[in-house]
Chain A
């Protein structure tokens, strides 16, 4: 480096963690939301493209039964309450409340998996029957993979929060970003719910 260097400032006064868009993790999470949201949107596009090839929709079967899907939607929407409390607790660095809500959300995840099983059982078409069946299964499967990966990440984070690492400010940032991602998971469910359950009934 140049020998004429002068020091204009001191970085040591800066804090070592920050929430939201100040943190690198937040940007990583947002970028992955863009990627996956793009994937969901394209799948929605593929759905309507395939629909335009048919005269009736669904082509040869009943639409999926409503009950499991509606139940799933209600529970995943309600999960935002503990999720919002979790995010708030993480940003206030209240470890006890974080532990409470994150365990609660892990349990809600298990309940969601059970209902999702019923959704697959009541979809009323096989993936190999026709393109309608293929795209319905693809939508439901892709969303299930999102729930599964976020749930697995949450469980690991839960375990981490119970260890000594759970006192580090940066782990609270992780929890906060995890809660942000869960919002993405339930928000993307809403259009998928419309595509799977409502469009075959209404259009």
Chain B
């Protein structure tokens, strides 16, 4: 049966409605209102995703400025540049900003932007929740930064250990702003995780079976499940902390049967998977880039997927290695050492698969590939020091020294930020329609890469010589002076490289070479959309017949979605057979208003427990208005064949 056979039919995409005419109709349906209203009400995953990316990059710069301040302070011994109190706030805000406001959000942001395009659908699932999530993230980040600038910034480390963060040792509201920032960002992250799971499992283009999903999308799926299983732990931990501080519960107070170590268990049950939540999307970027520039599918696809899933599972089994110094039963030491070492296996497997992919092809070394190589070198070094500190006797020696700082910056910057910079370079043409400049790109690459290794390679030695973390200054003559100065010089080179990267972005936005739909000759579906994509992503829903659809002879498509309604197609979970036509929600102001009401509740509850009662009323009203259908009941308007 074809579209024209419906009795009283409505316009649908297909051979009769195609080209500019179809574009006009779909743009009308899927576009936002112009101007500020459109900006505030949009639920387009591409606009929200871009916003998320830009905001996360602003937080990266803010966190980077804090890092430079710390390096300035530590450049010389006995420096009086920054007071101990301010320094505590600075390193706490650096870690918290980088983990909660930059790393996790930027990875989810790329998921929000790219996943619907890569699976070939018109919109993300639950698009209003997506808008709500962005606003909540923005307001939470702004809250903690305003508090910091007004000298009520958290000062107890990004992990906020009790009893230091408890009511006895941290009076005032500093720790509360930290704990509530956690609530904001975790609610936002969980919302995105739910959207990504539903989008990936139900909205894939027909024919995109589970074994044809791009590896980046697999990475995001595993990441989303990890968010779902790990983030409740930190939300619970910080809620307990807030209530200890606000209403006198005794969760973390050993004098009344509580336990400080309970905090560490709950925090690291989240905190260790968190590292992989940041890292798995990075692996996804690498797989996408390697596939494109080697012009062949990544070697051993099923092994790659199994490695991603295995990493996701193992990541939940090794949180206690952050607690080796707290004293554990012998069996605990042995178990968590073994678990920590075993997670190196799936990471190693993936690295060998990428190397095999490159080996078996003639890779084109465009800029994104440079970042992949930088990633492999840097991450392998970080992985090796990881295996070192997984061993208890060595960990007890190196715990809380700069060696650990060096280790996790190698894994996080090497494992996530380098792939991210590669990903920005790689997808910039898709997002903006223009290529990023080559020469500035190469300059920024070398500055960042060399600046990074100068800064952090040095820190291994500073740590081996015994310099502890989180000290605001140190006396001269301990053998740390030259090493610290070297790290500071490296940090400024790295920062200059980031600046050049940003200048390149700004210049390329204005006068970069026009990209076209598929400038790299890539295989995945996002490159079938225009650059930048239209509000509806695809004029017709693509039909997928392989894991590299754009390298096939042609890309067949489906007809038959309504064009006057926001309609998309749901497919079955495993085989991606077309199953339902589903409406996609329209733009509305209510997610923003609901986020404002929620922000009011969260900030109020720093000061009074009654916020949970009275603050919930405006949230309830906003949510009800959000969900209440605005259109007239649409019963019987369109014939449905079932």
Interface residues, chain A, CB within 8 Å of chain B?
1-2, 4-18, 21-24, 27-28, 31-32, 34-36, 38-39, 42-43, 45-46, 49-50, 53-54, 59, 127-135, 137-138, 152, 156, 160, 163-165, 167-170
Contacts and interface: CB of A to CB of B under 8 A. Distances in A.
Interface in B172-222: 190, 193-194, 197-198, 201-203, 206
A35 B190 CA distance: 8
A159 B559 CA distance: 38
Interface of B: 1-3, 6, 12, 14-15, 125-126, 190, 193-194, 197-198, 201-203, 206, 228-229, 231-233, 235-236, 240, 243-244, 247-251, 253-254, 256-259, 262, 265-266, 269, 517, 528-530, 538-541, 543, 553-562, 569-570, 573, 578-583, 620, 624, 627-629, 632-635, 638, 640-642
21 contacts: A1-B530, A1-B539, A6-B556, A7-B556, A10-B559, A11-B561, A12-B559, A14-B578, A15-B580, A16-B581, A34-B229, A130-B256, A130-B257, A131-B250, A131-B257, A133-B249, A134-B240, A134-B258, A160-B629, A165-B633, A168-B629
A131 B198 contact: no
A53 B628 contact: no
B257 A9 contact: no
B3 A15 contact: no
Nearest to B233: A42
Nearest to A3: B554
B560 A13 contact: yes
A21 to B, nearest CB: 7
Contact of A50 (B228, B258, B628, B629): B258
Majority secondary structure of chain A interface residues (helix, strand, loop or mixed) = helix
Contact of B256 (A17, A43, A131): A131
B191 to A, nearest CB: 10
B266 A27 contact: no
Contacts of B624: 156
B641 A9 contact: no
B557 A46 contact: no
A32 B197 CA distance: 11
Given A5-B557, A168-B629, 6 more contacts: A11-B558, A17-B582, A54-B257, A127-B248, A130-B256, A134-B243
A27 B198 contact: yes
Contact of A134 (B229, B236, B251): B251
A69 B190 CA distance: 32
A8 B558 contact: yes
A175 B627 CA distance: 13
Contacts of B228: 31, 34-35, 38
Contacts of A36: 232
Nearest to B641: A13
A127 to B, nearest CB: 5
A165 B630 CA distance: 10
A16 B638 contact: yes
Contacts of B266: 42, 46
A60 B265 CA distance: 26
A7 B259 contact: no
B569 A14 contact: yes
A8 B555 CA distance: 10
Q: Which of B190, B194, B231, B573 has the most CB of A within 10 A?
A: B194
B558 A9 contact: yes
A22 B266 CA distance: 35
B265 A7 contact: no
A19 to B, nearest CB: 10
Given A1-B555, A2-B528, A164-B632, A9 B578 contact: yes
A131 B251 contact: yes
B127 to A, nearest CB: 11
A5 B579 contact: no
A4 B554 contact: yes
A5 B250 CA distance: 66
Contacts of B642: 15
A128 B539 CA distance: 60
Given A11-B561, A15-B642, A1 B538 contact: yes
Contact of A39 (B14, B236, B247, B555): B236
A2 B530 CA distance: 10
B249 A128 contact: yes
A5 B125 contact: no
Contacts of A38: 228-229, 232-233
Contacts of A23: 570, 580, 582
Contacts of A8: 543, 556-558
Contacts of B578: 9, 11, 14
Nearest to B197: A31
A113 to B, nearest CB: 14
Contacts of B634: 168
A6 B543 CA distance: 10
B541 A11 contact: yes
A15 B633 contact: no
* A-B interface, 5 closest residue pairs, ranked by CB to CB distance from nearest: A12-B560, A134-B249, A131-B257, A11-B560, A128-B248
Contacts of B194: 28, 31-32, 35
A7 B22 CA distance: 15
Contacts of B558: 7-11
Given A49-B262, A167-B635, A21 B573 contact: yes
A160 B14 CA distance: 36
Contacts of B248: 127-128
Contact of A7 (B231, B257, B540): B540
B16 to A, nearest CB: 11
B52 to A, nearest CB: 19
B232 A35 contact: yes
A15 B257 contact: no
Contacts of A53: 254, 257-259
Q: Which of A131, A163, A164 has the most CB of B within 10 A?
A: A131
A55 to B, nearest CB: 10
Contacts of A131: 249-251, 253, 256-259
A9 to B, nearest CB: 5
A31 B198 contact: yes
B581 A14 contact: yes
B249 A137 contact: yes
Nearest to B195: A28
